[in-house]
Amino acid sequence: MYISKLLGHVSRNTTQKYLKVEIGDLKKKHSLYHPRENRNPADYS
């Protein structure tokens, strides 16, 4: 509820749309941006 009020949402359903995070999405972002996920040695030279 606090976040809903902070964002000015009347309905909690609106806030839940923004806060829904899927584990698959997190894994994709992790593999894109985490330095240890870069498996190409040519990128290090």
User: What pTM was computed for the model?
Assistant: 0.40
Q: Residue 38 — pLDDT band, cuts 50, 70, 90?
A: low
pLDDT digit string (tens) for 8-35? 988 888 888 877 778 888 888 888 888 8
Q: Could you give phi then psi for residue 5, rounded to 5 degrees?
A: -65, -40
pLDDT of residue 44: 47
> Taking a C-beta distance cutoff of 8 angstroms, is the pair 30, 37 a contact?
yes
